[in-house]
Amino acid sequence: MAGNSWLLPVSGMAADSKTDPGIPASDGYLLVDLKKCQGCASCMLACSLVHEGAASLSLSRIQIIQNSFEHFPRDIAIGQCRQCVAPACVEACPEDAITADKRFGNVRMIDLKKCIGCGACAEACPYIPSRSHLAPHESFGGQNKARKCDLCSRAPFHWDAAGGGPEGKQACVAVCPVGAIRMTRKIPTQKGDAGYQVNLRDGNWKRLGYQDS
């Protein structure tokens, strides 16, 4: 694996996602197989390319997280927005900048024009590190703006004419060389990470001497 200076330590989850919806559920969710992930960061580079037009690990909406003090399979985690059924970030935003966008299958999306870069969404996210993160945005004079996964719904540099979103192609899913990320329309269990971490391995896994679970 390449140098680890850009990888964040795993800290786990701060609290369970709330269970009282209030807004329509998303039509799409990213599932991951942590045992298949090799930490190559292809998903991160693809994410930043389709959204920002540049390869930038720090601007990626999905993060590969490594814990150097753990052993396989707990040494790597994939930090992706869960598109929570009852998203704490939506309720926390003082400017109503995060909404369920009906045009893109109710994916939770950030309106950058409304976002004031206060970081309330990141603080409210029950996952650590939070799935919303702040970074300067060139289109807004370098002002900090929140970024989070939108399933590539608004990816101005998307390579496919059909674009992304639940109906299209998600960059991270498309480029993962080992198929460790997949999108589903079925709502995952909303308690902890269990519903989002799945087994995407085939028969070859057993032939290599690994366990399926």
Tell whether 207 is covered by a domain.
Answer: no
**pTM score, whole prediction:** 0.82
Domain count for the chain: 1
Q: Within the chain, which residues score under 70 in pLDDT?
A: 1-21, 129, 203-213
pLDDT at position 8 is 39
The pLDDT assigned to 211 comes to 58
pLDDT, position 206: 59
Identify the burial level of 109 via C-beta atoms within 10 angstroms of its C-beta, where 0-12 means exposed, 13-18 middle and 19 or more buried.
buried
The per-residue b/e assignment along 142-177, b for 16 or more CB within 10 angstroms, e otherwise, is: eebbbbbbbbbbbbeebeeeebbbbebbbbbbbbbe
| pLDDT score at 118 | 94
> Residue 1: inside a domain, yes or no?
no
Inside any domain, residue 204: no
Task: Provide the domain limits for residue 90.
Answer: 29-183
Would you state the pLDDT for residue 191?
86
Task: Give 31-59 pLDDT, tens digit per residue.
Answer: 999 999 999 999 999 999 999 999 999 89
**Which CATH number belongs to the domain containing residue 116 in this structure?**
3.30.70.20
